[in-house]
């Protein structure tokens, strides 16, 4: 278990699972905001006891930043669009339409 984040509430086990796959201690604040929103939204899809407006706050030694509802919604919409693409890739892999070599080639082009 990672000791640089914590999860609480009815969806904590799901959030812990997702963070275990996606969290990296070297991510910046911008990526951290996206990751927090992504995990909350994913848990919301799975756990019927999770839902409602998402509040995100960045805390630091001398920092307190509360994201506006508009910022959270904008990030959520961007992630939702990408999630659709990712799901199509997963389906393509599972159905044998996309190979690991295809993905490697794509990543090497970056």
The answer to whether the CB of 87 falls within 8 A of the CB of 54 is no
- The CATH number assigned to the domain holding 58 equals 3.60.20.10
In a domain, 4, yes or no: no
pLDDT at position 2 over 80: no
Which tens digits make up the pLDDT trace of 34-92? 999 999 999 999 999 999 999 999 988 898 999 999 999 999 999 999 988 989 999 99
**Residue 58, H or E segment:** strand 57-60
The answer on pLDDT for 22 being more than 80 is: yes
pLDDT at 1 over 60: no
The residue with greater pLDDT, 1 or 29, is 29
> Residue 110 pLDDT more than 80?
no
* Domain contains 3: no
pLDDT in tens, 48-64: 999 999 999 998 889 89
Residue 8 has, within 13 A of its CA and on its CB side, a CA count of 1
So what's the pLDDT on residue 4? 81
Q: Is residue 42 assigned to a domain?
A: yes
Is 51 contained in some domain? yes
Distance CA 67, CA 87 (A): 28
Domains identified in the chain, total number: 1
> Rounded to an integer, what distance in angstroms lies between the CA atom of residue 54 and that of residue 36?
10
Note the pTM of the prediction, 2 decimals.
Answer: 0.80
Q: Can you tell me the distance from the alpha carbon of 100 to that of 91, in angstroms, rounded to the nearest whole number? A: 13
Structural domain boundaries, residue 59 = 12-108
- In what helix (H) or strand (E) does residue 63 lie, and over which residues does it extend? strand 63-66
- Residue 61's pLDDT is 87
Which 3 state secondary structure label does DSSP give 66?
Answer: strand
d(CA 64, CA 93): 42
Determine, yes or no, domain membership for 41: yes
């Amino acid at each position: 278990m990672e000791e640089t984040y914590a999860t609480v509430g009815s969806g904590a086990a799901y959030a812990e699972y997702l963070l275990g796959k996606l969290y990296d201690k070297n991510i910046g604040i911008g990526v951290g905001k996206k990751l927090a929103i992504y995990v909350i939204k994913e848990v919301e899809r799975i756990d019927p006891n999770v839902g409602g407006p998402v509040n995100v706050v960045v805390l630091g030694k001398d920092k307190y930043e509360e994201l506006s509802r508009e910022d959270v919604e904008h990030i959520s919409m961007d992630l939702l669009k990408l999630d659709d693409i990712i799901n199509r890739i997963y389906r393509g892999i599972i159905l044998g339409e996309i190979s690991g070599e295809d993905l490697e080639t794509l990543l090497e082009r970056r």
